[in-house]
Amino acid sequence: MPQSGWRSSKNFVILVVCVAVFTDVFLYGLIVPVMPFTLLRRVGIPDEDVQQWTSALLATYGIAIILGSLLFGWLGDKTETRQTPFIIGLLILGGGTLLFSLTKSLSLIVIARLLQGCSTAIVFTIGYSLMLDTVGNEGIGRAVGFTSMSMSLGLFGGPIIGGFVYDAAGYFAVFLPAFGLIALEITLRLLLRPVPRKTISLSEQPPRQNGEQSPLLPTESSQAESSLMVLLRSPRFVVAMIGMCMINTFLTAFEAVLPVYLHELFDFSSSQIAVVFLSNTLPMLLSPLSGRFVDKIGPFWPAIAGFSLAAPSMMLMCLVRKPTFLCTVLLRLFFFLFGCGVSMAMPAMMAEISMATDALENQRPGIFGAKGAYSQAFGLSNAAFSVGTLLGPLYAGYIREWVGWTTMLMSLGGLSILMVLLVVMFTGHRNVSDEEFS
């Protein structure tokens, strides 16, 4: 179809997925500064219960992402086209946002957050699978780099714009940018014409080269085996999942603890705290460059470099203990270096998810059936990333309260060093067969 060639092009597909990621994350952040006022003034929650319900709604959102990622990952590999669930995700996002903007009922706000969590699951599961279908493993690093940049922009821009618009124009005005982005997404997703999905004909599979005893085709039991269980038994794939979980654990740990610490130590205002987080966000805009390196040299060295840089950056933040100008400079420097580490590690781990899945398929042709298991692979990855949303604030908050700022940072740095060791042991340099690590 020549007339729709650009609508199926790699750049347009990447653009659509990036806008979807930005929109979803931006809408999540847009509500963050408004949430306490919504619960207090519109719902009528007592002031002493606002923090409890704010945390509960965050947990509700995270749980919806985890469960939704598994569900829509399975559905994505069963449908003929990924376009249909991708559009359904947009409708769910619009419905959840509209419900949140209009309701004064706590139970309906909970439902709205559940819908928004399901939408996030669809975007990060179906969207990444759609992107991989289009660009292939040879271009997934660059594509994931652009989506990582979009996510960083959404995470940073959402809360700032939400707080500013709420102060300037009131509650309902906050949702005008949201519905504008949703309208843009509707247009883009209707224009999108994804390339046909590649299917694997089991009758045409080449013989395996693992010895004369290897069967020509997958056995009946292997075809019936759950794709999720096949993926979860792969050390290489599980390490990539752990890497995604660790990255988000680090990010959300600082989101939960750093604003409180900066206010206590420096008496920073919300705008000053936002500037500090800008130090962490700016290097993530270079994620597409990191993704290009992943495409050229594989995920191994970018992952090593990313986690190796993140570890000392977090540990050295323990030097920030006095309200001096030098400490503010050191904080921004170490936080910037931490952002550089994340911008290298995240595209590498996302690319490793698809490469580890391909390695299993190459090792046991047809193990995932005719339609493959990319949606389920990205669903598991997104579920692991979402677990980090729950673990980061809980872990960092309790550790800092019990044993202090320094121990919290040292332990986070230790987890990053552990990831370096896991990457060395299990992560592939290119599309390496998973059996090398069995």
What range defines the domain where residue 240 resides? 224-437
What 3-state DSSP class applies to 265?
A: helix
Same domain, 278 and 424: yes
Q: How confident is the model at residue 59 (pLDDT cuts 50, 70, 90)?
A: confident
pTM above 0.85, yes or no: no
Q: Do 289 and 380 have their domain in common?
A: yes
Assess whether pLDDT exceeds 80 at residue 433.
no
How far is the CA of 93 from the CAs of 87, 144, 289, in angstroms? 10, 22, 30
- Segment 379-392 mean pLDDT: 90
User: What SS3 class is residue 290?
Assistant: helix
Whole-number Å distance between alpha carbons of 248 and 358: 24
Indicate if 251 and 300 belong to the same structural domain. yes
- If we measure between CA atoms, which residue out of 43, 160, 46 comes closest to residue 104? 43
Same structural domain, 11 and 87? yes
Half-sphere exposure of 359 (CA within 13 A, CB side): 25
Here the tokens at position 215 are 């069967």
- In this structure, is residue 196 part of a structural domain? no
CATH assignment at residue 128: 1.20.1250.20
Model confidence over 21-57: pLDDT tens digits? 999 989 988 887 788 788 888 888 888 787 678 778 8
Distance CA 392, CA 241 (A): 16
Percentage of the chain with pLDDT > 90?
39
Quickly list H helices, 298-404. 300-316, 325-363, 374-403
* Shared domain check, 257 and 117: no
- pLDDT band at 233; cut points 50, 70, 90: very high
For 82-106, the pLDDT digits (tens) are 778 888 888 899 999 999 999 899 9
Q: How many domains does the chain have?
A: 2
Boundary residue ending a domain (191, 212, 238): 191
Are both 391 and 261 inside the same structural domain? yes
Mean pLDDT of 123-133: 87
